[in-house]
Amino acid sequence: MDVTRIDRWLWAARFFKTRSLAKTAIDAGRVEINGRRAKPAHDVRVGDMLHVRRGTEAFELEVTLISHRRGSATVAATMYEETPQSKEAREAEVERRRMERDFQTHPERRPDKKQRRQLMKFKSKPPSD
């Protein structure tokens, strides 16, 4: 087993819950192999560099193991090695989102009926020049 399809590998490495989701992400251009856009049937080999975008996360990986079967999460974690730059970028993004969330202000309560009417009136008023 030295070669497998990229959609099957992404599923086995637990980047996507199903092969269908992996195929959809590949078709959408969210997966690159060695800097080139991949197709679902593209072969992946040990040593290939992958760039995978999943939601807001982006991974840069080197394939270290090929498997056709989906195993446990501990086995899946041994199938690839993430680059240090990718880890740092993901951790920085998580920290940025956490800080952004901490500094958001929320009203203490919902607007009452009078305040809602005032908001609707304000929003529907055309801007004055």
The model's pLDDT over 98-110, given as tens digits with 9 standing for 90+, comes to: 888 888 787 889 9
The answer as to whether 100 is a domain residue is yes
Amino acid at 68: H
The answer as to whether 128 is a domain residue is no
The CATH code of the domain that includes 49 is: 3.10.290.10
Q: Collapse the DSSP code of 62 into the 3-class scheme (helix H, G, I; strand E, B; otherwise coil) and give the result.
A: strand
Domain, as residue range, for 40? 3-105
The model's pLDDT over 20-45, given as tens digits with 9 standing for 90+, comes to: 999 999 999 999 999 999 999 999 99
> Is pLDDT above 90 for 68?
no
Selection from 6, 64, 9, 12 nearest residue 40 by Cα: 6
pLDDT at 100: 86
Q: What is the mean pLDDT of residues 1-17?
A: 92
Provide the number of structural domains found in the chain: 1
pLDDT at 41: 92
The answer as to whether 95 is a domain residue is yes
